[in-house]
Amino acid sequence: MTPAGPSRQGWGFLAPALIWTCAFFILPFLVMGAMSFATLEGRTLVWGLSLENYIELGQKAYLWRAVLVSLEITLTVTVVSVVLAYPLAWIIAYRVPQRWQRLVLLLAILPFWTSYVVRSYAWLLVLAREGVINQTLIGAGLLAEPVTLANTRFATVTGFVHFFVMLLTLTIYANLVQLPANYRKAATDLGANAFQTFWHVILPLTLPGIVTGAFLTFVLCIGDYVTPQILGGNNELTVPQVIMVQLGRRADFPLASALAIVLMALVTVVYLLSSRWLRLDRL
């Protein structure tokens, strides 16, 4: 019995992953894409090649508003998370002794171990009118009456940032610890001060970690349903919330599919831009 050739063995190893990808990603995506061109007549789903759902996306203001709200929240969360994560990653990489860095990183990833729903409800209790923040400010005499923090965009952004700062910290930290210490020493020998060393040496070399973490933040944030639903309420609907409304209340699967395709298109555009930037940066 002759052993299988390298090519046959390679396909044997790839087959389970390919079958899984086709069954649980490519096939559902094709069905969703086809359904986005179908129409709903009463309770009957009519398959076809109609652009009615995409035309409805352009005509109904609340649908476009949901897209804009999702983009605004996602971009805000991404920028704020990067601004907060970079100093934290810097402190862990260069100010915390190496023997303590693993412990600090372990503490940094603790939010990943907490249930997503539990974490969102915990923030809801903190931000409520009778929550910790309002009671603390009132007790300190800084407020005369509680302010509304929960069920707002601020609450949604806060819940997201709490999670994604840790994700970005890990990606940026991984870049920082890989930089040879000689780079900073060489910049100092050439007369650069601390800020110049950071701006012209450290920051450009860690941009791949920033871009990678920012892209992951964008993808996970723009497609999230739980946090906006719990912390933001229904005051400003995001695209995932609108999709759930179409599915749960109206059973309008074609329109929900069209919204999902638009959401995936946005993610694809961001992916192409980030990957193109990373390729250009390496030239």
> What pLDDT score was predicted for residue 112?
74
Structure-block tokens of residue 168: 């970005």
Task: Name the DSSP letter for residue 145.
Answer: S
Q: What is the mean pLDDT of residues 236-249?
A: 89
Q: What is the mean pLDDT of residues 57-66?
A: 87
- Average pLDDT over the chain reads 86
Which pLDDT tens digit goes with each residue over 174-229? 889 888 888 888 888 888 888 888 888 888 888 888 998 999 999 999 999 999 99
> What pLDDT score was predicted for residue 154?
92
The strand pairing partners of 46, in sequence order, are: 39
Is a pLDDT exceeding 60 seen at residue 65?
A: yes
The CA distances from residue 19 to 5, 11, 15, 34, 65, in Å, are: 21, 11, 6, 21, 38
Look-up: residue for tokens 């990957």? 275
Is a pLDDT exceeding 50 seen at residue 245?
A: yes
Is a pLDDT exceeding 70 seen at residue 6?
A: no
- 155: three-class secondary structure by DSSP: helix
Is a pLDDT exceeding 50 seen at residue 270?
A: yes
Q: 127 near 155, Cβ under 8 Å?
A: yes
- The H or E element containing residue 40 is strand 39-41
> What pLDDT score was predicted for residue 161?
93
Residue in 212, 215, 200, 201 with CA at minimum distance from that of residue 173: 212
Is a pLDDT exceeding 60 seen at residue 281?
A: no
Q: 35 near 253, Cβ under 8 Å?
A: yes
> What pLDDT score was predicted for residue 5?
57
User: How far is CA 208 from its chain centroid?
Assistant: 17
For the chain, report the end-to-end CA distance as a whole number of angstroms.
Answer: 49
Q: What is the mean pLDDT of residues 119-125?
A: 88
> What pLDDT score was predicted for residue 239?
92
Ramachandran category for residue 57: left, alpha or beta (phi over 0 → left; psi -120 to 50 → alpha): alpha
Q: What is the pTM of this model?
A: 0.86
Better-predicted residue by pLDDT, 21 or 13: 21
> What pLDDT score was predicted for residue 147?
85
> What pLDDT score was predicted for residue 3?
53
* Percentage of the chain exceeding pLDDT 90: 33
